[in-house]
Amino acid sequence: MENRKIILETKGLKQYFPTGKRKNGEKLFVKANDGIDMVLYEGETIGIVGESGCGKSTFGRSLLKLYDPTAGKIIYDGKDITDLSVKQMIPLRREMQIIFQDPYSSLNPRMTVGNIIGEALVEHKIYKAGSKELETYVKKIMKTCGLDDYMIYRFPHEFSGGQRQRIGIARSLALKPKFIVCDEAVSALDVSIQSQVINLLNDLKKEFGMSYLFISHDLSVVKHISDRIGVMYLGNMVELAPKKSLYATPQHPYTKALLSSIPETDLDIIKNRKRIVLEGDIPSNVTPPSGCKFHTRCPIAKNVCKAEVPIWQEVSKGHFVACHYKGAELV
């Protein structure tokens, strides 16, 4: 894996959002990302999972420089892009794309499908607006994404959820990006449509050799689509591992709890599994717990967990975890 080309890397990435002041004048921040190190190789899919509010969407958006990072570095294709201005980012936007969760609110209702998909191509001066070449190219991309070319003059409201998501995918794909953030890209879809879109994303990856950051709360979908998986909790990566290693030998108690919470359709598994049900809700990330942020809900937390932040370390090849009692039995 080391020989492969790194497409994207973050070093200690922090993304804070100001959220008012205390009475004594101390400024408060939502610590959405609190120091994340990650390397994404070319042609690889990293899945990011975690509960709502863990910072997974913020992380995806920070990578595309949709926010100005508070601290840390983002290195894309060997180039430090942390401090690039909006203008300087424009040529890079061709290569970095995002697919959004909600296929209803992310498409402009007043634009035809052809214009939605072609807009960026015109913006980046690849094709001229209204040209025959543009139309041919858009139709080709639509076909790749499973949309019929007669749909090119239609408006988003004429499509079903699954078709709209395909339009969103076609729009991202039109620029032949090298890196796509899929932010809950299939979560809003019905099960039968979900598998169609997942298969499409996998096909496109093979065809164009793209890298994905696949953000989802659905661990079984993430497992299917990812090569490696990162588990986030309250702004931090708590475990990152190749998927086989993560699902076979999860080290962090939070990962174990997440895995055991997934609804199963196999009745034998339901009967025999030991389910770890976490108590309580995810704490506030304005004033996160001290030490290991998970200690307030962790079934095996000891005093050291309240006091000291666990170190991010490699336990087996490519398997990283931050926990004082990594790998300990929970039940």
Partner 1 sequence: MKTNENLLEIRNLHTYFFTNKGTIKAVNGVDMEIQRGRTLGVVGESGSGKSITSFSILRLIEDPGDIVDGSIMFDGQELLDYTEDEMRAIRGNEISMIFQEPMTSLNPVLKIGEQLGEPLILHQGMDKKEAWARSIELLREVKIPEPEGVVHNYPHQLSGGMRQRVMIAMALACEPKLLIADEPTTALDVTIQAQIFNLMNDLKKKHNTAILFITHDLGAIAELADDVVVMYTGEAVEKAPVEILFSKISKFSHPYKEGLLKSIPKLNEEVEYLDQIDGSVPHPLNLPIGCRFAPRCKFATQKCIDEKPNLVEVEPNHLIRCFYPNKEQRDGK
Binding interface with partner 1 (CB under 8 A)? 51-52, 160-163, 190-196, 198-199, 202, 217, 219-221, 223-224, 247, 257-267, 269-270, 275, 277-282
Write down the least CB distance from residue 121 to partner 1, Å. Answer: 28
Joined tokens for residue 21: 């002041």
Q: Residue 214 Cβ, how far from partner 1 at the closest point, in Å? A: 12
Q: Which is nearer to partner 1, 49 or 175 (CB)?
A: 49
Considering the complex, state which of residue 88 and residue 261 has its C-beta at the smaller distance from partner 1. Answer: 261
Nearest CB to partner 1, comparing residues 67 and 247 = 247
Residue number with CB closer to partner 1 (3 or 52): 52
Neighbours of 156 (CB within 10 A): 20
Calculate the dihedral angle through the C-alpha atoms of 210, 211, 216, 219, rounding to the nearest 10 degrees: 100
**Residue with Cβ nearer partner 1 (24 or 52):** 52
At residue 257, φ and ψ (nearest 5 deg) are: -65, -45
CB of 192 to partner 1, least distance (A): 4
Whole-number Å distance between alpha carbons of 310 and 134: 53
Distance between CA atoms of residues 26 and 288, nearest Å: 16
SS (H, E, C) 255-287: HHHHHHHCCCCCHHHHHHCCCCCCCCCCCCCCC
Q: What one-character-per-residue DSSP string does 93-105 give?
A: HTTEEEE-S-TTT
Q: Cβ 290 to partner 1, closest distance in Å?
A: 20
Smallest distance from the beta carbon of 224 to partner 1, in angstroms? 4
Closest distance to partner 1 from the beta carbon of 221 (Å)? 6
Rounded distance, CA 242 to CA 250, Å?
11
CA distance 49 to 55: 10
- Residue 283 or residue 318: which is nearer to partner 1 going by CB? 283
